[in-house]
Amino acid sequence: MTASTNYKLILLRHGQSDWNEKNLFTGWVDVPLTDQGRAEAKRGGELLVEAGILPDVLYTSRLKRAIVTANIALEAADRDWIDVKRSWRLNERHYGALQGKDKTQIREEFGDDQFMLWRRSYDTPPPELDDSSEWSQAKDPRYADLASVPRTECLKDVLERFLPYWESDISKDVLSGRTVMVTAHGNSLRALVKHLDGISDDDIAALNIPTGIPLVYELDENLKPVKAGGTYLDADAAAAAIEAVANQGKK
């Protein structure tokens, strides 16, 4: 790759999930996509074709809403065949004791400030989820390779578990000149965007990522974004969807 050529990275948050629709905190609970989510994923793949930006390698979390979104988008782009790598390090933030709880009820019960602190602050995790909860992942065999499964996480924790994988795998594929697609989650992608754009711990609270709309970053040889914030392939749809994510939990 020549010095003048920029590297390409596609970020894709999964399409609407069952629990997005039901307004529940989800985290590591492995919920499926809704029909709308599947349609968003297909549209995401079509947007890639229309923009002429086709992934050469896919990274996903170990959660089916990301895996299925990527599969549908790749099928729509006729790229089903590309190499795939999955890691728990791309999982959604573990939402602790909030997993399975209704966002509006939590906002009403604890108030706006506490709700936003748990939801968007950089370093305040929700209370830990008990291992006996039906929404716990403590005994989930898919995480048998982890020294310990999180019981809760704040965004800082997500960044700390994501960055080693960025350094060891994802960034290397980007720098090899392959167009990399990362299909993941609202908060694991917020961690990635914070890192790429150098967003402060305070400012990251205001950043929301919409479901199913590809966000394309062109990166220079130091992996710095050529355009801060990247480019959503459907800017109008993204603006409306970002607003909706920001307002979750409001009546």
Which positions are catalytic?
Answer: 14, 92
Residues in the chain: 251
What is the binding site for ligand 2PG (CB under 6 A)?
A: 20, 25-27, 92, 95, 119, 186-187, 245, 248
124 is in an annotated binding site: no
Token code pair at residue 232: 């959503």
* Residue with the shortest CB distance to ligand 2PG: 26
CB of 135 or CB of 166, closer to ligand 2PG: 135
Residue 251 to residue 238: CA distance in whole angstroms:
22
- Report, in Å, the least distance between residue 223 CB and ligand 2PG: 26
Q: How far is CA 80 from CA 71, 189, 245, in A?
A: 7, 22, 29
106, exposed or middle or buried, with CB in 10 Å at 0-12, 13-18, 19+?
buried
37 is in an annotated binding site: no
CB of 9 or CB of 31, closer to ligand 2PG: 31
Contacts (Cβ under 8 Å, ≥6 apart) of 190: 155, 158, 204, 207, 208, 209
Residue 14 parent element (H or E): none
CB of 26 or CB of 136, closer to ligand 2PG: 26
- Report, in Å, the least distance between residue 249 CB and ligand 2PG: 7
- Report, in Å, the least distance between residue 65 CB and ligand 2PG: 9
186 is in an annotated binding site: yes
Pairing of strands 7-13, 231-232: unpaired
- Report, in Å, the least distance between residue 172 CB and ligand 2PG: 28
CB of 7 or CB of 25, closer to ligand 2PG: 25
119 is in an annotated binding site: yes
Token code pair at residue 137: 């992942």
| Rg (the chain; Cα; Å) | 17
How far apart are the two ends of the chain, measured CA to CA in Å?
Answer: 51
14 is in an annotated binding site: yes
Residue 48 to residue 181: CA distance in whole angstroms:
11
Residue 163 to residue 15: CA distance in whole angstroms:
24
Taking Cα atoms as reference points, which of 214, 179, 185 lies closest to residue 41?
Answer: 214
103 is in an annotated binding site: yes
CB of 150 or CB of 186, closer to ligand 2PG: 186
| Binding-site annotation: residue ranges for substrate | 13-20, 26-27, 65, 92-95, 103, 119-120, 186-187
| Binding-site annotation: residue ranges | 13-20, 26-27, 65, 92-95, 103, 119-120, 186-187
